[in-house]
Amino acid sequence: MVQLRAIISTYNLEIIMGLMAAFLILLLLYIVAEIRITGIKKRYNELVRGVKGLNVEELLIKTGEELYDIRIDMNIIEQSIENLETKLSFAIQKVGFVRYNAFGELGSDLSFSVALLDKFNNGFVLTSIFGRESTTSYAKPIKFGKSVYPLSVEEIQAIDRAMMGEHGEKTI
């Protein structure tokens, strides 16, 4: 013990300087730790804002359950979209229209043929022939772009326009 007192009395200035340096280093480390803790507290408060009485574990479990429910809802929505796309493929999607004068120079362009087709070129062509004495309308079924009944030139043009996506009126 006597030797230790002798060393301390001999090197007391160096020991005090060393302790002060250690104290300053520890003070700097403490300040850095406080800054980091403040940042972590801010992020934690942002994570649990608006949630009272829950800890982080409960919050994460709740969020996981909500994500699972959202995935189920998305699967249901995707299935509904597929069903709608299937149904829509059989809806009228293509329209072709031809307006013409059925009797040459005797009248005006009041006769017409309209082709109404689905995605698979199935549907019907509706024709109305306007004359001075009478007007006649009739429809012919279309399957894969063809009909089992004879088609007029105008009806064929209406079907072709529908299959090519021409929707505008064109006079022959």
pLDDT in tens, 122-158: 999 999 998 878 889 999 999 998 999 999 999 999 9
What is the pLDDT, as a whole number, of residue 171? 45
What is the pLDDT, as a whole number, of residue 126? 96
If one counts every other C-beta atom within 10 angstroms of the C-beta of residue 86, the result is 9
Q: What is the residue extent of each domain of the chain?
A: 1-47, 53-88, 94-171
What is the pLDDT, as a whole number, of residue 172? 45
Give every residue of the chain whose pLDDT is below 70, as ranges: 51, 53-54, 106-107, 166-172
Q: At what angle do helices 12-47 and 2-10 cross, to 10 degrees?
A: 80
Segment (H or E) for 73: helix 56-88
Q: What tokens appear for 75 in the block?
A: 């699967």
With beta carbons less than 8 A apart as the criterion, state whether 118 and 92 touch. yes
This prediction's pTM? 0.56
If one counts every other C-beta atom within 10 angstroms of the C-beta of residue 51, the result is 12
Within its chain, how far is the Cα of 55 from the centroid? 34
